[in-house]
Chain A
Amino acid sequence: MSVLATLRGISKTFANGTLAVDGLDLDIADGEFLTFLGPSGCGKSTALRMLAGLMPPTSGTIGWTGGARPQVGFVFQEPTLMPWASVFDNVWLPLRLRHIPRRDAARSIDEALDLVGLGAFAKVYPRELSGGMKMRVSIARALVTRPPLLLLDEPFAALDEITRFKLNDDLLALKTELGTTVGFVTHSVFESVYLSTRIAVFSPRPGRIVAGIDIPEPLPRNEEFRLSAVYADHCRIVSAALHKAMNAPQQQTVAQ
């Protein structure tokens, strides 16, 4: 598999002196589903945002195969929709910002909405949608440009389990259909094993990758996989890695 991005020695120190991410070395393969797993506050979001180019690393380099960062689709923990715009117009946004008129964008928008199963809701306003539906709109918006790289920061954390399972399946189906590379953040061991082809386990702050675990089972996966012994084994391994990371001695991080 070819490499999409190469992260070398990525560190991030915030203005207040917090060292959030410390010396990240990571290769992201083209087409993989990579999950950042770690306890709260360990720097997962920070790492993902640096990957998206939303903030620069304090030190280290991110190299992209093909020279520059490809188009990125980003999904936040909250749906982050514009309440004054219809679902259609919300999904139009990435194209609109590239000066693509509404009419020319319509096909891509309808396709993206169909992909997330909201084809019938184009004219509706965000406040008329449930939490899960809003999240789907957010995903449709990220997909509308057909980005080679899709980054999701705990997108389903606020949802109930039934909805989360459903959206997990939908996300995997989308990923297999579109062949997108996915970077995903979660602190659920079970979600990470179900979704990922590879899991990067983070230590508590300052975030470092302490284990990389492959989940070789083919995508997409289903309920059967969730109930299988293989799934349970993987969960155990990942859980153990996470516990080990949590209990590792921490270094003093905040300058003072």
Chain B
Amino acid sequence: MSEPRANGRATNALPDFVLPVAIFIAALAGWEAVVRLNDIPPYLLPSPSLIGETIVKDWPLLSGSLWVTLKITFSALFLAIAGGLFLAILFAQWKWVERSFFPFAVILQVTPVIAIAPLLLVYLDAQTAVLVCAFIVAFFPILSNTVLGLASADHNLVELYELYGASRWQQLRLLRLPGALPYFLGGLKIGGGLALIGAIVAEIAAGSAGQGTGLAFRIAEAGYRLNIPRMFAALVLISVTGIAIFLFFSILSHLLLGRWHDSQRSREA
């Protein structure tokens, strides 16, 4: 028997990822079995293997759409980061700016993007409208988290900076920005996922005006044609994208905060 671990789990020295992966594979196998044993036709429920085949077979078509969706998601996310960070810093420097402009951010946030999309489509071309929708949903969590982070600097540290005659810029650069980093990264994790959701939702809303480019359009289009396996295939690509975004920011958090922030602290055995 190996040594008992600190968290008291009986261990047979399996790496942590084995169990979730095994269960995931078992779930897929169960799905496959249900479809095969009951002879469920693919237009009702395609089997995982058929979905896999479809991804491979339709890859030329799907990869183009994936690329469009990725481009929109990341452009929107980039704009949201730049805008959110910039506005948050402005808010932190001048209270009156925060008081004047925060309501606009809140209005944008609380209005469901699906309701704004048709209006944007009137004014903008489809691509830009989708980009703006994705930006709107990704922007707010980044902004509000960073604002909170910038305001959360340890009060005593702020006084210490004042005692040593720190300039505003020094206070921002050396104290407020590093302190806001965990909050900002938290906002990024949420905003990254939301940018993808925004891009998909807006493209669905754009419908035929979307000129058939992104993954959401592929889903809608395949739906009209009752090409259910392709719907699933596009769905899988969207999920994988979302997971990749989340993993990316989790790893980034770990790299940036690993040494000092409690959120990244593993319980020592």
Q: How far is the CA of A52 from the CA of B159 in the complex (A)?
A: 10
Alpha-carbon gap, A96 to B166, bound state (A)? 9
Asked if B262 and A74 sit within 8 Å, CB to CB, the answer is no
Residues of B within 8 A of A85 (CB): 178, 260
Of the residues A76, A94, A97, A125, contact of B260 by C-beta under 8 Å: A125
> Does B175 lie within 8 Å of A76, measured CB to CB?
no
Kindly supply a per-residue 1/0 record for chain A positions 6-17, scoring 1 wherever the CB is within 8 Å of any chain B CB and 0 otherwise.
000000000000
Q: Which B residues are in CB contact (< 8 Å) with A125?
A: 259-260
Interface residues of B in 245-269 (CB under 8 A from A): 259-262, 265
B156 and A82 contacting across the interface, CB-CB below 8 Å: no
Enumerate 29 A-B pairs (CB-CB under 8 Å) in ascending A order: A52-B163, A54-B159, A54-B163, A72-B163, A74-B159, A74-B160, A74-B163, A78-B156, A80-B154, A80-B157, A80-B160, A82-B174, A82-B175, A82-B178, A82-B179, A83-B260, A83-B261, A84-B179, A84-B261, A85-B178, A94-B164, A97-B164, A97-B165, A97-B166, A125-B259, A125-B260, A127-B260, A127-B262, A127-B265
Knowing that A94-B164, A97-B165, A127-B265 touch, tell me 8 more A-B residue pairs with CB under 8 angstroms.
A53-B163, A54-B163, A80-B156, A82-B157, A82-B178, A83-B260, A83-B261, A84-B179
**Cα-based distance from A94 to B165 in the complex (angstroms):** 9
Query: Which residues on the B side are within 8 Å of A83 (C-beta)?
Result: 260-261
B128 located at the interface, meaning its Cβ lies under 8 Å from any Cβ of chain A in the complex:
no
- Top 9 nearest A-B pairs (CB, nearest first) are A80-B156, A97-B164, A84-B178, A84-B260, A97-B166, A83-B260, A76-B156, A94-B164, A125-B260
Question: Across the interface, which residues of A come within 8 angstroms of B261, CB to CB?
Answer: 83-84
Query: Do B181 and A84 have beta carbons less than 8 Å apart?
Result: yes
Chain A interface mostly helix, strand, loop or mixed?
Answer: loop
Q: How large is the interface on A (under 10, 10 to 19, 20 to 34, 35 or more residues)?
A: 20 to 34
Check: A242 CB closer than 8 A to any chain B CB.
no
Indicate whether A126 reaches chain B with its CB closer than 8 angstroms.
Answer: yes
**Interface residue ranges, A against B (CB under 8 Å):** 52-54, 72, 74, 76, 78, 80, 82-85, 93-94, 96-98, 125-127
Q: Which of B5-60 contact A (CB under 8 A)?
A: none
Which residues of the other chain, B, contact A93 by a CB distance below 8 angstroms? 160, 164, 174
- Asked if B102 CB lies within 8 Å of chain A CBs, one says no
Min CB–CB distance B76 → chain A (angstroms): 29
A80–B158 alpha-carbon span in the complex (Å): 10
Which B residue sits closest to A83, measured CB to CB?
B260
Q: How far is the CA of A85 from the CA of B160 in the complex (A)?
A: 15
Contacts of A54 in B (CB 8 A): 159, 162-163
B85 to chain A: closest CB distance in Å?
A: 17
B211 at the interface (CB under 8 A from A): no
Q: List, in ascending order, chain B residues with CB within 8 A of A96's CB.
A: 174
Establish whether residues A97 and B178, one from each chain, have CB atoms under 8 Å apart when the complex forms: no
List B contacts of A94 (CB < 8 A). Answer: 164
Q: For the complex, is B161 an interface residue (Cβ under 8 Å from A)?
A: yes
Q: Give the distance to chain B from A85, nearest Cβ to Cβ, in Å.
A: 8
Nearest-neighbour CB distance to chain A for B98, whole angstroms, equals 21
CB distance from B81 to the nearest CB of A (A): 20
A9 to B163 CA separation, bound complex (whole angstroms): 23
Give Cα A96 to B157, complex, Å: 14
A110 to B24 alpha-carbon distance, docked (Å): 54
Determine the chain B residues whose CB is within 8 A of the CB of A98 once the complex forms: 164-165
